């Protein structure tokens, strides 16, 4: 891989007393990519991110960001990094505009152009008081805060939490535009569908250990789609053994097909029958773990 590395985490371990935050974690985030950091709640995503930003001390390991040491050169790294925490508070009783201008000034940036355009796109009223915001609006303030100073690296922890679906779509568009401008984005999420939508690469963490790092297409091929279908006419399992279908389960006249390839031709074949009911789903994160990684012993496997 010749791509430029922006974040390089080597053997990161963080212990909270006897409790493991993360253990021997290795992860690389490449320049110009959106890297999803996927895992259930409590897996160690936030711990990893906050170690990168030197908000917490490491127990062991090394983190290099922009070829600088995450803890020794923290201030220099933060000049080029935007951050949206998973949970954050705002300064109360000031206008959103003043709050954001203040944060801009701490980042040494004078231009409010991007702040204003982001607020417009996310439909956030900058004249509202910070303590009068709903959860969703507060999250928008956080998103704008992380993006407005136009930094090279943006680290986000559960960025869409509290956003309604329309706003989520707008947020994904914004992220793709940021990427087009050459930004590197490292984004923690517990939502596989979300990661699939915007990320180029995904790292999956569970119980403090990195399970897999994969390019998103590879992961999609592995995970595939789940098609649940009920037919009006009798259909045998053999009729559904099509190319691309990796697994078929039968349950009271309902068929559950796991499809990895040729989704279009499978759907076409299925539609030759009279369909009573049909749904197509992406694997949930938990299903993904159960299916592919539950018995995984070697966390290095699948490093793309």
Query: How much of the chain is in helix, strand and coil states, percent to nearest 5?
Result: 35, 30, 35
- What does the block give as tokens for 283? 């694997």
Q: What is the rounded CA–CA span in Å between residue 17 and residue 63?
A: 21
Is residue 179 within a helix (H) or strand (E), and if so which, with residue range? helix 165-180
- For residue 273, the minimal CB distance to other proteins (Å) is 52
Nearer residue to other proteins within complex by CB, 85 or 244:
85
Closer Cβ to other proteins, 38 or 156, answer by number = 156
Give long-range contacts, CB 8 A cutoff, 24+ apart: 255-258.
255/227, 255/228, 255/229, 255/230, 255/231, 256/226, 256/227, 256/228, 257/226, 257/227, 257/228, 257/229, 258/224, 258/225, 258/226, 258/227
Enclosing H/E stretch for 118: helix 113-121
In contact, 191 and 24? CB cutoff 8 Å:
no
Decide whether 108 or 234 has the Cβ nearer to other proteins. 108
- Closer CB to other proteins, 88 or 293, in the complex: 88
Residues in contact with other proteins by the rule CB under 8 A: 46, 50, 53-57, 74-76, 78-79, 81-83, 85-94, 102-103, 105-108, 142, 145
- Smallest distance, Å, CB 81 to other proteins? 7
Pairing relationship of beta strands 245-251 and 5-16 according to DSSP bridges: unpaired
Distance (Å, whole) CA 96 – CA 262: 49
Work out how close the CB of 284 gets to other proteins at its nearest, in angstroms, rounded to a whole number: 25
Please, what is the minimum distance in Å from the beta carbon of residue 146 to other proteins?
Answer: 8
Nearer to other proteins, 86 or 136 (CB): 86
Shortest gap between Cβ of 60 and other proteins (angstroms)?
15
If we measure between CA atoms, which residue out of 108, 104, 140, 101 comes closest to residue 123?
140
Least Cβ distance, residue 48 to other proteins (angstroms): 13
| Closer CB to other proteins, 111 or 250, in the complex | 111
């Amino acid at each position: 891989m010749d791509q430029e590395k922006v974040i390089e985490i080597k053997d990161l371990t963080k212990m909270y007393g006897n409790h493991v935050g993360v253990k021997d974690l290795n992860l690389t985030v490449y320049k110009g990519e959106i890297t999803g950091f996927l895992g259930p709640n409590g897996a160690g995503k936030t711990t990893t991110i906050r170690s990168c930003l030197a908000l917490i001390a490491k127990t062991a390991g090394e983190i290099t960001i922009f070829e600088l040491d995450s803890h020794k050169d923290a201030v220099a790294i933060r000049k080029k990094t935007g951050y949206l925490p998973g949970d954050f508070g705002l300064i109360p009783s000031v206008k959103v505009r003043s709050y954001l201008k203040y944060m801009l000034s701490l980042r040494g940036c004078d231009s409010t152009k991007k702040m204003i355009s982001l607020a417009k796109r996310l439909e956030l009223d900058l004249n509202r008081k910070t303590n009068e915001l709903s959860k969703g609006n507060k999250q928008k303030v956080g998103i704008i805060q992380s993006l407005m100073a136009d930094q090279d690296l943006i680290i986000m922890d559960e960025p869409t939490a509290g956003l309604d679906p329309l706003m989520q779509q707008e947020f994904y568009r914004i992220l793709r535009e940021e990427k087009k401008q050459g930004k590197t984005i490292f984004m923690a999420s517990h939502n596989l569908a979300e990661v699939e939508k915007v990320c180029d690469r995904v790292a999956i963490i569970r119980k403090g250990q990195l399970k897999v790092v994969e390019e998103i297409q590879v992961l999609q091929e592995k995970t595939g789609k789940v098609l649940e279908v009920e037919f009006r006419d009798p259909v045998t399992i053999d009729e559904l053994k099509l190319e691309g279908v990796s697994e078929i389960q039968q349950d009271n006249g309902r068929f559950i097909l796991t499809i990895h390839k040729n989704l279009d031709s499978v759907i076409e074949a299925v539609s030759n029958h009279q369909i009573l009911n049909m749904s197509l789903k992406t694997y949930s994160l938990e299903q993904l773990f159960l299916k592919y990684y539950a018995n995984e012993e070697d966390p290095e496997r699948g490093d793309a």
